[in-house]
């Protein structure tokens, strides 16, 4: 067992786990479980990477305040990093995202500023820029900061290459929010595992890459009022209502061999199936990526190796429709079990 000097040293080195009961028999299907990061998501990597890059460049000085617009996971990761390093943090988030995300960030000491859901991701980005400029705070700019994909190239990608050393990785399946994972891992796979097919999943109701429509920009280069292909969807953290620069760069560089639209109900279904059939507890975006991996598996060659990214933990979604049918009280079957012996049987009704 290693002894770590701080919590930040535990970020990364997440496990690749074989899927046994849900995988088609003719392929080898694996998942990379990013919930093993200390704050439960792949965005812990991004958070540490952008802060340490800013420290090295001098953009972030001791005692400086950090600000970011986020759907939650990046903010939670930043809250951990800022707490460990002693930076105040302000997070701007649309009020449509789950309340547990807000509470986690506040529990870690961050200030959370909410913007109207109707203004979507573009609105929270604009608000974060305004606050950063007014107060002189350091804006991490996760959607365009090159430190984001560089971190994934240096960590996530290297872990994948090492885990599949000596065998061919035929398919790598991922979603995208900022595009950091896609861009950073895609860069390394193209250079060191060029035969690996990169499959990108996105919400069916927000198929930004698949729409073929360019991202609208304002005169200052910031996102315009929203991408015309974007509609509300349950995959929190995936596809803001604009195509992030990092994502656009990845697509332009050819890091997407196939793009799969995933329906919201399918994403929630496979998150639940992973929990109940594999014991893997993950969120809606993970269910969406896994749904895409199953589509890939259906037509893959015998013995193909498929790796699917699972971005975060299911605990981010307790207040969302993912848990809508999970009761807190005993159902009839549970009450019957309780009544089957005399102790506290009356409590079962």
Q: What is the pLDDT of residues 141-154, one digit of tens each?
A: 999 999 999 999 99
Q: Is the pLDDT of residue 235 over 80?
A: yes
- Encode pLDDT of 163-215 as tens digits: 999 999 999 999 999 999 999 999 999 999 999 999 999 999 989 999 887 77
Which strands form 138-139's sheet, in the order they lie side by side? 111-115, 89-94, 66-69, 138-139
The CA-based angle 156-169-196, given to 5 degrees, is: 85
Q: Is the pLDDT of residue 33 over 90?
A: yes
- In terms of domains, do 102 and 201 share one? no
- In terms of domains, do 33 and 47 share one? no
Average pLDDT, whole number, for the chain? 94
Q: How far apart are the first and last CA of the chain?
A: 48
Q: Is the pLDDT of residue 1 over 90?
A: no
* Residue 149 included in any domain: no
* Residue 339 included in any domain: no
- In terms of domains, do 191 and 168 share one? yes
- In terms of domains, do 187 and 300 share one? yes
- In terms of domains, do 289 and 181 share one? yes
Catalytic residue numbers, as ranges:
43
Cα atoms found within 13 Å of the Cα of residue 17, Cβ hemisphere only: 20
Q: Is the pLDDT of residue 219 over 60?
A: no
Cβ–Cβ under 8 Å, residues 126 and 94:
no
Number of structural domains found in the chain: 2
Can you give the pTM of this predicted structure? Answer: 0.94
Beta strands at 28-33 and 16-18: parallel, antiparallel or unpaired: antiparallel
Contacts of 252 (CB under 8 A, 6+ apart): none
Looking at residue 219, what DSSP letter applies?
T
Contacts of 95 (CB under 8 A, 6+ apart): 114, 115, 116, 117
- In terms of domains, do 162 and 286 share one? yes
What is d(CA 6, CA 11) in angstroms, rounded to the nearest whole number?
Answer: 10
222 falls in which pLDDT band (50, 70, 90)?
A: low
Lowest mean per-residue pLDDT among 109-113, 182-186, 343-347 = 343-347
**pLDDT above 70 coverage of the chain, percent:** 97
Mean pLDDT of the 44-63 span: 97
Strand partners, 93: 114
- In terms of domains, do 188 and 270 share one? yes
- Give the H/E segment covering residue 1: none
- In terms of domains, do 78 and 162 share one? no
Cβ–Cβ under 8 Å, residues 188 and 163:
no
The per-residue pLDDT for 218 is 63
Q: Identify each DSSP E strand in 28-143 by its residue range.
A: 28-33, 66-69, 89-94, 111-115, 138-139
- Encode pLDDT of 260-283 as tens digits: 999 999 999 999 999 999 999 999
- In terms of domains, do 296 and 168 share one? yes
Q: What would the DSSP string read from start to end of 90-112?
A: EEEEETTS-HHHHHHHHHTT-EE
Cβ–Cβ under 8 Å, residues 54 and 60:
yes
Count CB atoms within 10 A of the CB of residue 4: 10
- Encode pLDDT of 121-131 as tens digits: 889 999 999 99
The per-residue pLDDT for 221 is 59
* Residue 212 included in any domain: yes
CATH number (domain holding residue 266): 3.40.50.1100
Distances (CA, A) of 54 to 9, 140, 177: 18, 8, 21
Query: Measured in whole angstroms, how far is the alpha carbon of residue 311 from the centre of its chain?
Result: 4
- In terms of domains, do 226 and 188 share one? yes
What is d(CA 117, CA 322) in angstroms, rounded to the nearest whole number?
Answer: 19
Cβ–Cβ under 8 Å, residues 311 and 32:
no
* Residue 73 included in any domain: yes
Q: Is the pLDDT of residue 338 over 60?
A: yes
Size of the chain, expressed as the number of residues it contains = 349
- In terms of domains, do 207 and 317 share one? yes
Containing structural domain, residue 123: 43-139
Domain end position, chosen among 107, 139, 171: 139
> Is the C-alpha dihedral spanning 112, 114, 120, 126 positive or negative?
negative
Of residues 256, 252, 249, 211, the one with CA closest to residue 231: 211
The label of the residue with tokens 């009022």 reads 225
223 falls in which pLDDT band (50, 70, 90)?
A: low
- Encode pLDDT of 277-331 as tens digits: 999 999 999 999 999 999 999 999 999 999 999 999 999 999 999 999 999 999 9
């Amino acid at each position: 067992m290693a002894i770590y000097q701080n919590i930040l040293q535990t970020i990364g080195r997440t496990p690749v786990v074989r899927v046994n009961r849900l995988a088609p028999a003719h392929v080898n299907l694996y998942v990379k479980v990013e919930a093993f990061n200390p704050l439960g998501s792949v965005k812990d990597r991004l958070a540490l990477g952008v802060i340490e890059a800013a420290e090295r460049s001098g953009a972030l000085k001791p005692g400086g305040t950090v600000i970011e617009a986020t759907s939650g996971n990046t903010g939670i990761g930043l809250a951990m990093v800022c707490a460990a390093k002693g930076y105040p943090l302000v997070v701007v988030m649309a009020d449509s995202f789950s309340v547990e995300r807000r509470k986690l960030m506040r529990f870690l000491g961050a200030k959370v500023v909410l913007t109207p859901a109707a203004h979507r991701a573009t609105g929270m980005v604009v608000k974060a820029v305004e606050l950063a400029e007014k107060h002189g705070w350091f804006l991490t700019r996760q959607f365009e900061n090159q430190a984001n994909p560089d971190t994934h190239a240096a960590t996530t990608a290297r872990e994948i290459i090492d885990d599949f050393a000596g065998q061919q990785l035929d398919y790598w399946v991922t979603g995208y929010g900022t595009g950091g994972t896609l861009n950073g891992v895609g860069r390394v796979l193209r250079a060191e595992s060029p035969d690996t097919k990169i499959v990108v999943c996105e919400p069916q109701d927000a198929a930004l890459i698949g729409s073929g429509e360019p991202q609208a920009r304002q005169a200052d280069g910031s996102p315009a009022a929203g991408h015309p292909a974007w509609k509300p969807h349950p995959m929190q953290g995936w596809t803001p209502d604009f195509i992030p620069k990092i994502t656009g760069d990845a697509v332009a560089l050819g890091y997407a061999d196939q793009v799969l639209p995933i329906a919201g109900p399918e994403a929630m279904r496979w998150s639940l199936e992973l929990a109940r059939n594999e014991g893997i507890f993950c969120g809606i975006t993970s269910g969406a990526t896994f749904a895409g991996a199953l589509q890939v598996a259906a037509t893959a060659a015998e013995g193909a190796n498929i790796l699917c990214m699972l971005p975060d933990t299911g605990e981010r979604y307790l207040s969302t429709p993912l848990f809508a049918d999970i009761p807190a009280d005993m159902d009839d079957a549970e009450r019957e079990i309780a009544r089957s012996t005399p102790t506290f049987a009356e409590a079962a009704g």
